[in-house]
Structure 1
Amino acid sequence: MTSAEQLLNGRSFSHHFQPIYNLATWRKIGYEVLLRPACSLSPEEAFQLAEAEEKLYELDTLSIQKAVEYYNNEGYTSRNGMLFINVFPSTISNPLFLSFIEKLTTQFQQSQNLILELNESERIEDYIVLNKALQNIRKLGIKVAIDDFGKRYSDIASLVELKPDYVKLDRYLISNLEQSKEKQFIVNCIKKYCAEFHTKLIIEGIERPNELALAKYLGIPLAQGNVLSPPEDLNQY
């Protein structure tokens, strides 16, 4: 049975990278980093195991470190666009995280194109503490995104309190979008909010050409999904 110590000591995971596209130009603006355990665990199960064994911060930061190292070792730099990395709110709030991310981004000169995506699976316990940590992180040039927006009832609070630089819509709002006037209305409202408060909107999880066509018709600026490009090793692009 896999343990958190095995994940940490053996470093038994890798990363795939999924491109994010500008729908106006069809150019890649960056990549989202996706953890891939070498064992039978799913990414969610790997982090749940780490949390149960009180090793969540260690696994989260190791994953970030390996992703940035791999990105650079494959010859990718800020010229290749932004790097979106999932991170738990509790990791960001950890007093050790600021020095960790500052050292890592200085070493690889990545701070200006790094986007920290707040993992939606963890409840935010204290917005004041999290915002204080994010304030210091943003001073490094790092930006913040809310992932899977629309999946949890508390998403509106996160949007208002954290003032993210990017909002990524949850797959639920995208699935069969062309058939749902209600979803189209909600997506349009979120788009208007983002335009008003200078937040970039990303539509993720696009699986079908019809969803992609409607996203472009609705004026969604950025998108990712298997219909555009599935997650891959960087050296396969």
Structure 2
Amino acid sequence: MLIDHFIEKRLFTHNFQPIYHLHSHNCIGFEALLRSVDFPNPELAFEAAKRAGRLYELDTASIDLAMRAYRESKLSDKDAVLFINILPSTLINPKFSAFIYHTLNTNQLRADQIVLEISESEQMDQLIDSFHIIQKLIEYGFQFALDDVGKGYSNFDVMIAFPFKYIKLDRLFSTQLHLSDKKKALPALFIT
């Protein structure tokens, strides 16, 4: 099966997209974006992994490779942080905590250099019941972001309950933001 080979041989890389602070124009971090010849659209790779029951394996392989590439690129030597996408089902998997601590140590990174960016591509209700997992990761130093708010399974309970350091709005809300009072109102809700 293609997806098994894709995961086992790690037939993907990551590009690092810079993230800038809007007012200071300083680079605050880099988002690791999975790229592959086999799956030009990364969402298709994750859909194939889900169908094959290998979603956790692909997600953790991507996280591992992203951390390694970040360290090897020397971007980790800067003050910027690494934003890594993670699925809610991966985050609450019983094996994940041991995996993330091991991967962090293997790559000689600090937890405060990593922002785990929860993807809205899955239902998020399960996160409420697993808050203790996220709380331990936060206490260890990891930061959290909520990705593409408004695109997928937005859940205001999750947004309110979790201490997200970053909330990233879907492109729908940022495109021509300055022209829409309704679009301007949404970011204002999250700024405290």
TM-score by length of 1: 0.75
8 Å CA contact retained: 1:77, 1:110? no
Shift of residue 129, structure 1, vs aligned partner: 3.4
Partner of 2:141, secondary structure, is coil
2:38 maps to which residue?
39
Measure, in 1, the Cα distance between the counterparts of 2:187 and 2:128. 28
8 Å CA contact retained: 1:113, 1:142? yes
8 Å CA contact retained: 1:78, 1:110? no
Shift of residue 110, structure 1, vs aligned partner: 2.9
Aligned-residue identity in percent: 34
Partner of 2:130, secondary structure, is helix
1:162 aligned partner, one-letter code = F
1:178 maps to which residue?
178
Measure, in 1, the Cα distance between the counterparts of 2:129 and 2:57. 20
8 Å CA contact retained: 1:127, 1:161? no
Q: C-alpha offsets along residues 71-117 of structure 1, whole Å, 9 cap, x if unaligned?
A: 11122225241100000011011111101111111222231110000
1:59 maps to which residue?
58
Larger radius of gyration: 1
Measure, in 1, the Cα distance between the counterparts of 2:153 and 2:61. 30
Q: Does 1:21 align with 2:25?
A: no
2:94 aligned partner, one-letter code = P
Partner of 1:185, secondary structure, is helix
Q: Does 1:94 align with 2:93?
A: yes
Query: What 5-or-longer segments of structure 2 have no aligned partner?
Result: none
Change (3 A) 1:81 1:4: same
* Residue correspondence of structure 1 range 60-209 to structure 2 within 5 A: 60-107=59-106, 108-152=108-152, 154-191=154-191, 195=192
* Residue correspondence of structure 1 range 207-226 to structure 2 within 5 A: none
Instruction: Count residues with an aligned counterpart.
Output: 191
Which structure carries more relative contact order (alpha carbon 8 Å, separation 6+)?
A: 1
8 Å CA contact retained: 1:118, 1:144? yes
1:210 maps to which residue?
none
Measure, in 2, the Cα distance between the counterparts of 1:97 and 1:137. 11
TM-score by length of 2: 0.92
Partner of 2:78, secondary structure, is helix
Shift of residue 18, structure 1, vs aligned partner: 0.8
Query: What 5-or-longer segments of structure 1 have no aligned partner?
Result: 196-237
Measure, in 1, the Cα distance between the counterparts of 2:125 and 2:73. 37
**C-alpha RMSD of matched pairs (Å):** 1.7
Measure, in 2, the Cα distance between the counterparts of 1:101 and 1:153. 25
Shift of residue 163, structure 1, vs aligned partner: 2.5
Q: Does 1:50 align with 2:49?
A: yes
